[in-house]
Amino acid sequence: MDCVTLGVEEEFLVVDAETFELVPRSDELLPAARRRLGDEVTPELNLCQIEVGTPVCDSLDGVDRHLRRLRRGLAAAAGPMGLGVAAMASHPFTSWRHQQIDRSNERYSRMDDTYQIVARQQVICGCHVHVGIEDPDLAVAVMNRVRPWMPALLALSANSPYWQGFDTGFASYRLQVWQRWPTSGMPPELADRQEYDDLVRALEEVDAIEDSTFLYWYARPSARYPTLEFRVCDVLLEVDETVALAGLIRSLAWTCAAQEKLGLPATAPPQEVMEASTWRAARYGLSEALVSPITLRAEPAEVVIGELLDFVADGLAFHGDGERVVATVKQLLERGNGADRQRAAYRRREDLRDVVDDVLRATAGTG
């Protein structure tokens, strides 16, 4: 196996820098941000969201460097406008009712017309990691093989415990909102790219989707790039965490591609078990047991994350990422994921504004 390239997209919430309220002002922020960052910053479905994406990278150092540059550039553009950008997957207290779909964008306008309240409530932010796989059939085979590990990736990234003033009880409430799309969830097992294309065509013919970009699976072949795109993760608080998850995902894809090329049998739990395991990861994050893809039993989170690290160890070593990724994952297990840290910020004074304040500083790298 060769070195696998990767790229990362991060979605952020746009907030008022004084009140910490979510505000529909990304249309104002975007021109200023593009003067600094060009096309690496893009609009999102709702005007309270904005997205950045790295170039294609060969190394985690490259991902790290670009993500810091992009976050700094966004913050510098937002500051003079009285705005901040927050790396949190849901806002703690502002209602979706006060936000707006970007209807100046033709695609988003059609989505608003078609999906109605489902689209309007998608005031959530994810982190998408692309791993380079040129062979379309191999990309589908890797998609099949990575599915059992989706819950572990979600648990590490979970960063959305609050919704409209309430502690939801979930570590990733984003997943609950996101699953309202008609084509979201765990990808099906598919034989090859032809079967994938046939499924896309069948969904198009019944007007379930316009095209493959409307498949909101946890992982999917990208419609724009020769990549497999992992979409299960919440946006993470800090760059170090995003970089580690990107390295973990790249090594997972590399490992599964190597197994496929060797002709090793692919095993996965039943679809319903994988979906239930993902729900459990969204509910508890790292604070309770996860479902082990090895034993198919509920095991302590650190055990299941350790199984994932063992599974991808060769891929981490091949790319020279082992020490960096393992250290950051260990830190996440010790101090908690973003959801744990948001709740810790709230407990100081029981003020949800403190949560946003902490997130803003973490996003900018000053917290």
Tens digit of pLDDT for each residue in 47-96? 999 999 999 999 999 999 999 999 999 999 999 999 999 999 999 999 99
Between helix 136-146 and helix 193-205 the angle, nearest 10°, is 80
Task: Please answer whether residues 356 and 342 qualify as being in contact, where contact means their C-beta atoms are separated by less than 8 angstroms.
Answer: no
Apex CA 213: angle with CA 38 and CA 87, to 5°? 50
In-domain check, residue 366: no
**Three-state DSSP class for residue 124:** coil
In-domain check, residue 146: yes
Count of domains observed in the chain: 1
Task: Please answer whether residues 124 and 160 qualify as being in contact, where contact means their C-beta atoms are separated by less than 8 angstroms.
Answer: yes
For residue 367, pLDDT beyond 80 = no
Q: What is the per-residue pLDDT for 365?
A: 87
For residue 2, pLDDT beyond 90 = no
In-domain check, residue 1: no
Task: Please answer whether residues 87 and 12 qualify as being in contact, where contact means their C-beta atoms are separated by less than 8 angstroms.
Answer: yes
In-domain check, residue 364: no
User: Using one digit for the tens of pLDDT, what is the confidence trace for 317-332?
Assistant: 999 999 999 999 999 9
d(CA 99, CA 164): 12
Q: What is the per-residue pLDDT for 1?
A: 66
For residue 156, pLDDT beyond 90 = yes
Mean pLDDT over 276-283 rounds to 98
**E strand intervals along 79-181:** 83-86, 126-132, 162-163, 166-167
**Three-state DSSP class for residue 251:** helix
Mean pLDDT over 208-231 rounds to 96
What CATH number does the domain containing 314 carry?
A: 3.30.590.20
Burial grade of 42 (CB within 10 A; 0-12, 13-18, 19 or more): middle
Task: Please answer whether residues 24 and 47 qualify as being in contact, where contact means their C-beta atoms are separated by less than 8 angstroms.
Answer: yes
Does the CA dihedral 288-294-297-299 come out positive or negative? negative
For residue 136, pLDDT beyond 80 = yes
Dihedral pair phi/psi, residue 176, rounded to 5°: -65, -40
In-domain check, residue 102: yes
For residue 352, pLDDT beyond 80 = yes
* Domain region containing 61: 6-357
pLDDT above 70: percentage of residues in the chain: 99
Mean pLDDT over 168-197 rounds to 97
pLDDT band at 366 (very low <50, low <70, confident <90, very high): confident
In-domain check, residue 363: no
Mean pLDDT over 229-239 rounds to 98
User: Using one digit for the tens of pLDDT, what is the confidence trace for 235-253?
Assistant: 999 999 999 999 999 999 9
**Average pLDDT score over the chain:** 97
In-domain check, residue 160: yes
User: For residue 299, what are the β-bridge partners?
Assistant: 290
d(CA 305, CA 286): 9
* Phi-psi sector, 14: left (phi>0), alpha (psi -120 to 50), beta: beta
Between the CA of residue 49 and those of 22, 27, 124, 143, 240, what are the distances in Å? 9, 9, 8, 28, 22
Residue 301's H or E segment, with its range, is helix 301-311
Mean pLDDT over 342-362 rounds to 97
Q: What is the per-residue pLDDT for 292?
A: 98
Question: What single letter denotes the amino acid at residue 359?
Answer: V
Q: What is the per-residue pLDDT for 44?
A: 97
In-domain check, residue 174: yes
Span between the terminal Cα atoms of the chain, in Å? 39
